[in-house]
Amino acid sequence: MTNEVILQVKDLKTYFTVDEGLVKAVDGVSFDLHKGETLGIVGESGSGKSVTNLSVINLIPTPPGKIAGGQVLFHGKDLLAMPQAEIRQIRGNKISMIFQDPMTSLNPFLKVSTQMIETIVLHQGLDKDAAKQKAIEMLKLAGIPAPEKRIDQYPHQFSGGMRQRVMIAMSLSCNPEILIADEPTSALDVTIQAQILEIMQELTKRLGTAVILITHSLGVVAGTCDTLCVMYAGRIVERGPTDVIFEDPKHPYTKGLIRSVPRLDVENSERLYSIQGQPPNVIDLPDCCPFYPRCEKAMDICKKKYPAIANFEQGRAVSCWLYSGAKDE
Amino acid sequence: MSKYIIRRALSLIPTMFIIVTLSFFLVRFAPGGPFSSEKKVTEQVLQNLLKKYHMDEPLGKQYLRYLGDVLRGDFGPSFRYRDSTVNQLIAQTLPNSMMLGTIALSMALFAGIGVGIVSALKQNRWQDYLAMSFAVVGISIPLFVIGPLLQLILGLKLRWLPISGWITSRDGWKTLILPALTLSFPYFAYIARLSRASILEVLRSDYVRTARAKGLSERVVIGKHVLKGGLLPVVSYLGPAFSGIITGSLVVESVFAIPGIGRVFVQSALNRDYTLIMGEVIMYSLILVTMNFIVDIVYGFLDPRISYK
């Protein structure tokens, strides 16, 4: 990991218009991604993790979605201001994605070879035969046995774990600078999850690819990510190096999340901790801290205004009145 | 695959047997008979008529006799059209209906799929609203309104096309346009709605998102990743649609004076022309089961997830 920043997300806002009102799915998210870094984004369902990353490559379905503000700078160029033809050269090439459900993410009507080759031909300018060789090589790297035979099969002939390996091979086939993995293991068996994460880590290390790993599993984050962003109701509430956050979580939500993980090294006489209450309804959210109804340390000001970001050493940032307020005094 | 085809083809035999048997008895049990609307005939003449057509025999014997005839490909004489056999009547009218139906369905297919694709891609915009209102009109307005309306506008007012007749008349192939247009209308509307709905579903699918995330152009995404899955329901609709449309339409044939099989079919039912009804039912069923059979096989080629064993 070097210090070169390759992706800068600045104050990203993605809103969805639904019948009930305006959903601010992502509301002012900022983070930097360095070359070769693995960045984890955690949060519960509906916290805006996936929308953030679909917004990064400008794939939000419009309508109902709309990127209402912010910038996504990739090597200094704003992806959101780019014409479609130009961003298409980046998608799948410099920035590629893996999705949650490998059972539905591959086209069931096309052979794996067709789907892999079309990407390689498009972005690398190889002819079909060379592209096929490259695809076979990638499948081999992703741990698919007999890739030269299996490449001509259809997705339904692969198991879930194998399909996700195909997705990984496909997404890395153009040596992207960034791989966005949107809950790549959530739909898989626990035993397969570890294998898939391992393959992904190994390949991205080898290729020097930076990874944005979206997940709701803190266990996955702890084992793989250099940096961690915790999202809640469309905003990043805490950001910093993974090990530091696990050591000393600052935001009450992060603290709650970490306490909710079952641990082997603690006696299991106690009941497992869980954060009380429900995730907020994000339709027409007022300008308060959305976590205050569930927060053990809620204060009056939490109901009135969203806390400013408080910065700490080692690049940590927390949005909570416990810290923002203290700094003002 | 070939094993499957043979097995499916063999299974058509019992299907057809059941259809023949059921319709034979149903037709016989309907009140009235082929000679009940004749002008007054003496008892003796009626007896002679019944004897000539073997209708004086017990029903079971008639059934076996009929079955034997059908196996030899002979549908027997018509009870009403005295000089024609059922085979002749079908041979005279079915090709006309088939030609008209094929043209109409091809038109409906091209226009329907085209409109379906456009409205799916422009969902909830004016193109979509326009196309879908047009489709609702197409489904809800009966053919006996559309037909005369087209005759009135394109035939009588604008004088572009002949209002009736058949290709054997001096207007030639031009006579086909208006009836084909009329006949295709409900099919067009249905195909447009069907393809729109299924393309919309595919557009929302994960694999289309993957295709876009790979950086493919919208043209490739639609042409390569969306259409195949999106048009499969249209393929399965084609079987019943084709057999329905080529067996003629009473309304269109009456409005445009076309010598097709639809009119003969309805007439035969009203006349209790037993052999003719049976002949037509058998023809229709044969076409329907064959079309469904073909669609199933084509489906196997289009969808790799289906395997025939």
A248: helix, strand or coil: coil
**pLDDT > 90? residue B146:** no
Chain A interface, best mutation among B202, B214, B227, by max A CB count within 10 A: B214
Q: d(Cα A249, Cα A260) in Å, to the nearest integer? A: 13
Beta carbons of B66 and B21 less than 8 angstroms apart: no
Q: How is A34-97 classified by DSSP, letter by letter?
A: ETT-EEEEE--TTSSHHHHHHHHTT---TTTEEEEEEEEEETTEEGGGS-HHHHHTTBTTTEEE
Note whether A119 contacts B: Cβ–Cβ < 8 A: yes
Average pLDDT over residues B71-99: 85
Chain B residues interacting with chain A (CB cutoff of 8 angstroms): 124, 205-207, 209-218, 220, 224-225, 228-229, 302-305
- Flag if A99 and B302 touch (Cβ within 8 Å): no
Chain B interface, best mutation among A59, A79, A107, by max B CB count within 10 A: A107
Mean pLDDT computed over every residue of chain B: 86
Rg (CA), chain A: 21
**pLDDT > 80? residue A187:** no
Band of pLDDT at residue B196, cut at 50, 70 and 90 = very high
Beta carbons of B180 and B98 less than 8 angstroms apart: no
pLDDT at A99: 87
Q: d(Cα A81, Cα A319) in Å, to the nearest integer? A: 28
Which H helix or E strand runs over A256? helix A252-259
A153 assigned to some structural domain: no
Closest CA relative to residue B176, chosen from B113, B243, B114, B102: B102
- Flag if A92 and B213 touch (Cβ within 8 Å): yes
Structure-token match 């990984």, residue found: A168
Q: How many CB pairs under 8 A join A and B?
A: 75
Q: Which residues pair with A5 in a beta bridge?
A: A34
pLDDT digits (tens, 9 = 90+) for A139-181: 888 888 888 889 989 988 888 888 888 988 888 888 888 899 8
- Flag if A105 and B207 touch (Cβ within 8 Å): yes
Note whether A110 contacts B: Cβ–Cβ < 8 A: yes
Note whether A91 contacts B: Cβ–Cβ < 8 A: yes
Q: Give the contacts of A276 (CB within 8 A, at least 6 positions apart).
A: A294
Give the closest of B206, B218, B228 to A109, CB-based. B228
Which of chain A's residues have a Cβ under 8 Å away from the Cβ of B224?
110, 118
Among chain B residues, the shortest Cα distance to A99 is held by B210
pLDDT at A268: 65
Note whether A105 contacts B: Cβ–Cβ < 8 A: yes
- Flag if A91 and B214 touch (Cβ within 8 Å): yes
A213 assigned to some structural domain: yes
Q: d(Cα B59, Cα B54) in Å, to the nearest integer? A: 10
> How many CB atoms are located within 10 Å of the residue A19 CB?
6
Fill in the amino acid letter for B218. Answer: E
Which of chain B's residues have a Cβ under 8 Å away from the Cβ of A59?
209, 212-213
pLDDT digits (tens, 9 = 90+) for B101-141: 999 999 999 999 999 999 998 888 898 899 888 888 888 88
Structure-token match 């700078």, residue found: A73
- Flag if B213 and A59 touch (Cβ within 8 Å): yes
Note whether A122 contacts B: Cβ–Cβ < 8 A: yes
- Flag if A97 and B229 touch (Cβ within 8 Å): no
Closest CA relative to residue A180, chosen from A222, A137, A231, A215: A215
Helices (H) and strands (E) in chain A, counts: 12, 12
Burial of A82 (0-12, 13-18, 19+ CB in 10 A): middle
Note whether A107 contacts B: Cβ–Cβ < 8 A: yes
Among chain A residues, the shortest Cα distance to B306 is held by A156
If one counts the domains in chain A, the total is 1
Q: d(Cα A66, Cα A55) in Å, to the nearest integer? A: 9
Whole-complex ipTM: 0.84
- Owning domain of residue A308: 5-94+174-265+274-328
Average pLDDT over residues A299-318: 77
Burial of A296 (0-12, 13-18, 19+ CB in 10 A): exposed
Q: Give the contacts of B77 (CB within 8 A, at least 6 positions apart).
A: B53, B84, B85, B86, B275
pLDDT at B103: 92
Give me the architecture of the B86-302 domain, per CATH: Orthogonal Bundle (1.10)
- Flag if B217 and A90 touch (Cβ within 8 Å): no
- Flag if A122 and B214 touch (Cβ within 8 Å): yes
Beta carbons of A160 and A152 less than 8 angstroms apart: no
Band of pLDDT at residue B200, cut at 50, 70 and 90 = very high
A289: CATH? 3.40.50.300
The sign of the dihedral angle between the CA atoms of B295, B298, B302, B305 is positive
Closest CA relative to residue A238, chosen from A140, A307, A166, A293: A307
A214: helix, strand or coil: strand
pLDDT digits (tens, 9 = 90+) for A44-89: 887 888 888 888 888 888 778 888 888 888 888 888 888 888 888 8
Fill in the amino acid letter for A203. Answer: L
Average pLDDT over residues A17-35: 83
- Flag if A110 and B302 touch (Cβ within 8 Å): no
pLDDT at B189: 92
A27 assigned to some structural domain: yes
Band of pLDDT at residue A325, cut at 50, 70 and 90 = low
Note whether A99 contacts B: Cβ–Cβ < 8 A: yes
The percent of residues above 70 in pLDDT, for chain B, comes to: 98
pLDDT digits (tens, 9 = 90+) for B76-88: 888 877 788 888 8
Kindly report the CA angle at A226 between A177 and A191, in degrees rounded to 5? 90
Band of pLDDT at residue A329, cut at 50, 70 and 90 = very low
- Flag if B213 and A104 touch (Cβ within 8 Å): no
B123: helix, strand or coil: coil
pLDDT at B21: 92
Beta carbons of A216 and A257 less than 8 angstroms apart: no
Shortest distance between the Cα of B206 and any Cα of chain A, in A, equals: 5
Shortest distance between the Cα of A65 and any Cα of chain B, in A, equals: 14
Q: d(Cα A94, Cα A177) in Å, to the nearest integer? A: 5
B202: helix, strand or coil: helix
Beta carbons of A45 and A59 less than 8 angstroms apart: no
**pLDDT > 90? residue A182:** no
Mean pLDDT computed over every residue of chain A: 83
Closest CA relative to residue A326, chosen from A299, A293, A303: A299
Shortest distance between the Cα of B192 and any Cα of chain A, in A, equals: 22
Among chain A residues, the shortest Cα distance to B225 is held by A107
Which of chain B's residues have a Cβ under 8 Å away from the Cβ of A89?
215
The percent of residues above 90 in pLDDT, for chain A, comes to: 0
Residue A261: C-alpha distances to residues A213, A218, A273, A274, B123 (Å): 19, 8, 8, 9, 44
Fill in the amino acid letter for B96. Answer: N
Band of pLDDT at residue A297, cut at 50, 70 and 90 = confident
Note whether A170 contacts B: Cβ–Cβ < 8 A: yes
Fill in the amino acid letter for B17. Answer: F
- Flag if A109 and B209 touch (Cβ within 8 Å): no
Shortest distance between the Cα of B298 and any Cα of chain A, in A, equals: 14
Average pLDDT over residues A14-37: 84
Q: d(Cα A165, Cα A196) in Å, to the nearest integer? A: 7
Among chain B residues, the shortest Cα distance to A57 is held by B213
Give the closest of A91, A109, A123 to B304, CB-based. A109
Q: d(Cα A277, Cα A293) in Å, to the nearest integer? A: 8
Which of chain A's residues have a Cβ under 8 Å away from the Cβ of B215?
88-93, 119, 122-123
Beta carbons of A71 and A6 less than 8 angstroms apart: no
A167: helix, strand or coil: helix
> How many CB atoms are located within 10 Å of the residue A147 CB?
20
Average pLDDT over residues B217-225: 88
Band of pLDDT at residue A328, cut at 50, 70 and 90 = very low
Note whether A55 contacts B: Cβ–Cβ < 8 A: no
